[in-house]
Amino acid sequence: MEGGDWRNSIINQLQTRNKRETSSFQDIITFQSRLFDNVSTLKNENLQLTLLNERIRFSNTESVLSSGGGGSNERIQALEQKILSQQEELTSLHRRRGESSQQIINLNAKVHDLEKSLQAKDVTISENTALIASLRAEIQLYETNMAELQVLNQVLRDEHQALQIAFAAIEEKLRKTQDENRSLVERLIKYKAKDADKMNEENEHFLKSSNPTAFFINTFGRVSFGKRSDKVRKELEEAAREGGSRSSGSGGSIDEKIIDSMPYYATSLPTKVALRFDAHEGEVNAVKWSPTDRLLATGGADRKVKLWDVSKLGLVENKGTLVGSNAGVMSVDFDATGAYIVGASNDFASRVWTVGDQRLRVSEV
Amino acid sequence: MANDREVLREIWDGKLPICFQLHQEDLMDIQQPDPFYVMVPRLSYFPLVTDKMKRHFLRYISQESADNEMWLDYNGQPLKWHYPIGFLYDLYCGHDPQLPWTLTVHFTKFPENILLHCPNKDIVEAHYMSTVKEADVLKHRGQVMSTMQKKDHNQLWLGLQNDKFDQFWAINRRLMESHGDNEGFKYIPLRIYSDEGICSQRLISPKNNDGSRKVIQQLLSELYPNKPDVKLRTHGILIPSDTPLQWLSEHMSYPDNFLHICLC
């Protein structure tokens, strides 16, 4: 332990310092803080007590009647107060009663009015019911009337229908009789015509056999007619004769000569298709028979020339296709020996093929 | 070795009566709040002792400023929370002691340029621990702090926070031991403040060049050769001029292991 004046001085100073700063204030501050805490707790307590007090007072006002434990003075006072309040209540009740009685009178008057109006309404209702009953009876009456009328109407309609049927039958009968009449008239006319013809015949016979002049005036028309018919007959006979001379071949005019030079052919229109086949894709532009064989050459828009064998009846056989044309073939032809074929096409060229080996021989633009 | 238990105990027991008053601008209640009196240890820090006071004043301020950080001033001078309370008192009231110490409490207009923010007590602990480390670096090149375990650090802090002398000194004792054969710290962790609160910290060895112990008188003539009558105040007392520096550092350092000394 070191020691010296300086240490004693320090210790003394520290002690005086602590005495001055600490111990003199320690108690006061502690006491103050305790007081402080006390105040705050008391404040809290006070608040709680006030709350409690408030609550108790509130419950007291509610239970003041039931408690009744206070002094008699208080009780009397309370009772007096109560009586006072009840008297007030009574007066107010009286007032209210007066008001209500007034109201009752008013209401009674109203009830009277209402009853009156009710009676009036009853009267009108009974009147209206009577009216309704009479109207209903009327309706009944009209309804029966209507039914009767309907029945009558029905009867009339039936009658009308029956009459119409009768009318139709009569009309039919009329038409039949008219037809009969017409046919009878026709027959009558026919018989009349026959009679007339017979009369004419008789007249003619009479004219031919007897003197014509005797009946000249009567039968003039008929005579002239007879002359004319004779003339016609003569002309016809002449014509027939001429025709025969012509067919014998001894005419003199130029026309007759031309007609004579032409041999007669029995011409007939083909009526049945013997063979039918599709030769080309597209149009067929040209067809030619071979001069030697039973061979047919066709040229089509598909730039081909085709050879067909049609020797077998009802059967066609493609003998070959000649290619080389650059456009549709418009025309074909064989040479005289049937060994070459020439084709003309739309590409401004003509080409020659041999039939035997079907090769292109010449191509000429 | 800090073995003068009597001195240590006297220093530890030093307390200050403080009267907190709410600043008028922050008052939002019709009723004027009562001032709040409390005894605080000189060695403690303000954030550790103001919880109850803060709760008391919260009732009287507006809702929107209730979440703001609280700060204190004395005579318009904002108080830095990272200095020990006793040192602050010596600094501002050393010449003209008036007790109880009346401080004003503010909840608005935080002086950003002067004070550090202190959102919770962890910040105080971090600052305290870093100061202890700095002192240890000066004294033993940081060897003692680095050999301590986390629980030792916690014990040191909790001892201070809960005002437990034995718990604190069980650990702080190791920081005050001197190592090696030459008996004494390498340098003395010492901060000297002028009246305006300006701090000066220099490398000061506990020994003179010839190996003898350095005393306060020698230190003063070394630091302030022009001022012969300068005096030093710490813990509310004037230091005798023949006190050895080594002993002073061992016994009269604040809990952060620094000697905070006011010039007067």
Are B36 and A9 an interchain contact pair (Cβ–Cβ within 8 Å)?
A: no
Are A33 and B38 an interchain contact pair (Cβ–Cβ within 8 Å)?
A: yes
Q: Give mean pLDDT, residues B131-136.
A: 89
Q: Among B11, B15, B252, pick the best mutation site for testing chain A contact (most A Cβ within 10 A).
A: B15
Chain A residues in contact with B7 by the CB 8 A cut-off are 7, 10-11, 14
**Burial tier of B244 (Cβ tally within 10 Å: 0-12, 13-18, 19+):** buried
| SS3 of residue A319 by DSSP | strand
Sequence-ordered list of residues with C-beta below 8 angstroms from that of B70, at least 6 positions apart, any chain? B50, B54, B105, B106, B107
Contact between residue B252 and residue B259 where contact means Cβ atoms under 8 Å apart: yes
Confidence category of residue B61, pLDDT binned at 50, 70, 90: confident
Q: State pTM to two decimals.
A: 0.49
Given a cut of 80, whether residue B257 has pLDDT beyond it is yes
On whether any CB of chain A is under 8 Å from the CB of B46, the answer is no
- In tens digits, what is the pLDDT along chain A, a chain of 365 residues? 456 778 888 888 888 888 888 888 888 888 888 888 898 899 999 999 999 999 999 888 877 655 545 567 888 999 999 999 999 999 999 999 999 999 999 999 999 999 999 999 999 999 999 999 999 999 999 999 999 999 999 999 999 999 999 999 999 999 999 999 999 999 999 999 999 999 999 999 988 876 555 444 444 444 455 566 777 888 888 887 776 555 444 444 555 566 666 667 777 788 888 888 888 888 899 999 888 888 889 999 888 999 988 888 778 888 888 888 888 899 999 998 888 999 999 888 899 999 888 888 888 77
Shortest distance between the Cα of B115 and any Cα of chain A, in A, equals: 27
Contact between residue B108 and residue B62 where contact means Cβ atoms under 8 Å apart: no
What domains, with CATH codes, occur in chain B?
A: 5-106 (3.10.20.620), 121-176 (1.10.246.190), 190-263 (3.10.20.90)
On whether any CB of chain B is under 8 Å from the CB of A13, the answer is yes
Q: Give mean pLDDT, residues B205-231.
A: 79
Residue of A nearest to B36 (CA): A33
According to the model, what pLDDT value does residue A250 have?
Answer: 45
Are A2 and B237 an interchain contact pair (Cβ–Cβ within 8 Å)?
A: no
Q: Which of B204, B192, B209, B210 is closest to B246 using CA atoms?
A: B204
Are B235 and A20 an interchain contact pair (Cβ–Cβ within 8 Å)?
A: no
On whether any CB of chain B is under 8 Å from the CB of A3, the answer is no
Q: Among A5, A6, A26, pick the best mutation site for testing chain B contact (most B Cβ within 10 A).
A: A6
If one counts every other C-beta atom within 10 angstroms of the C-beta of residue A353, the result is 25
Amino acid of residue B161: Q
Alpha carbon distance B205, B189 (integer Å): 9
Alpha carbon distance B121, B51 (integer Å): 11
On whether any CB of chain A is under 8 Å from the CB of B235, the answer is yes
Alpha carbon distance A289, A312 (integer Å): 15
On whether any CB of chain B is under 8 Å from the CB of A41, the answer is no
**Burial tier of A171 (Cβ tally within 10 Å: 0-12, 13-18, 19+):** exposed
Out of A7, A17, A29, whose CB is closest to B14? A17
According to the model, what pLDDT value does residue A246 have?
Answer: 52
